[in-house]
Amino acid sequence: MIRLAVPSKGRLMEQTFEWFAARGLRLSRSGSEREYAGRVEGADGVQLVLLSAGEIPRELAAGRIDLGVTGTDLVREKLAGWASDLAEVAPMGFGHADLILAVPDCWRDCETLDDFASIARDFRAAHGFRLRIATKYHRLVRAWLAGHEVADYQLVDSQGATEGTVANLTAEAIADITSSGATLRANNLKILGDEPILRSQATLVASRAAMGPEMTALLAQLGLRA
Ligand SMILES: Nc1ncnc2c1ncn2[C@@H]1O[C@H](COP(=O)(O)OP(=O)(O)OP(=O)(O)O)[C@@H](O)[C@H]1O
Ligand SMILES: O=P(O)(O)OC[C@H]1O[C@H](OP(=O)(O)OP(=O)(O)O)[C@H](O)[C@@H]1O
């Protein structure tokens, strides 16, 4: 039996159902909107579970599920050394989002990461505490800033409505995902740098421990190779 986990709500869930349907597998919830078990038609030996996209990487690494759909951002954020336990089998072509660093529009002298690094250096002397960056992507943001030699900052945990933290005066900058850019614009924030911290999209991810004939057969049915 292959245990397949897909996001339990929203557009990510709907587009996942469409992606599998286009490849001959009909996924559906087995009961009410609130029930997190599912049905699979079109393949034998596949059990469907609906999970929070954020929990899918860890559940794969723990071996409680074999195959899952989640964002590449979440795989990299939730699991250090993810590639030893998981294999990204296929990008799915939806759920595109960029993880970016953003500062207030009104920071006119801050356009590049070098500008940001020097503002961060001066900030502590001027304010007595390190410049605060609100994010839920702690691992990715720390690694990226270290790679760009930005050191004078602190991360403030924000699990939602992150763009609001600057106006609320709980952070000076944010690192979050953006897709249309509407949330950044509405909160008077601008993206720093030419390249995002990470480009993410929904991806089919397998546990390496679950690779075997059953998995190979299912992936072949989806037109994929292990
Ligand atoms: N506006 C967006 N456009 C495109 N992709 C997005 C957008 N917001 C989130 N995503 C992607 O969707 C995934 C997260 O989805 P979602 O917020 O449903 O998961 P979650 O963190 O598990 O949520 P929850 O904890 O609320 O259940 C991430 O991979 C993210 O990159
Ligand atoms: O660039 P945009 O198209 O405006 O999308 C970006 C927004 O989408 C996500 O939020 P989500 O709706 O998942 O809510 P959250 O605040 O709980 O993260 C993300 O955290 C941004 O806030």
Chain-centroid distance, C-alpha 47: 24
Q: Is the CB of 159 under 6 A from ligand 2?
A: no
Q: Is the CB of 83 under 6 A from ligand 2?
A: no
Nearest to 48 by CA among 63, 67, 33: 67
Q: What is the ipTM of this complex?
A: 0.93
Which ligand 2 atom is at minimum distance from the Cα of 180?
3
pTM above 0.90, yes or no: yes
Strand partners, 68: 5, 205
Strand partners, 189: 104
Segment-wise mean pLDDT, segments of 10 residues, the chain, 226 residues: 97 98 95 82 96 97 98 98 97 98 98 96 96 98 96 97 98 98 98 96 98 97 91
Closest C-alpha residue for ligand 1 atom 4: 95
The predicted structure's pLDDT at residue 30: 83
d(CA 204, CA 25): 14
The predicted structure's pLDDT at residue 137: 98
Lining ligand 1 with CB less than 6 A are: 7, 10, 12, 52-54, 71, 73-74, 95-97, 177, 179, 200
- Domains of the chain listed by start with CATH number: 2-96+201-221 (3.40.190.10), 97-199 (3.40.190.10)
Closest ligand to Cα 165: 2
Ramachandran assignment for 24, one of left (phi > 0), alpha (psi -120 to 50 degrees), beta (any other) = left
The predicted structure's pLDDT at residue 33: 72
Best residue for ligand 2 mutational test, from 74, 177, 187, 191 (most atoms within 8 Å of Cβ): 177
The predicted structure's pLDDT at residue 59: 98
Closest C-alpha residue for ligand 1 atom 29: 71
192-213 residues labelled b (16+ CB within 10 A) or e (exposed): bbeebbbebebbbbbbeebeee
The predicted structure's pLDDT at residue 181: 98
The predicted structure's pLDDT at residue 177: 98
Which ligand 2 atom is at minimum distance from the Cα of 183?
4
Do 47 and 4 meet the contact criterion of CB atoms below 8 Å apart? Answer: yes
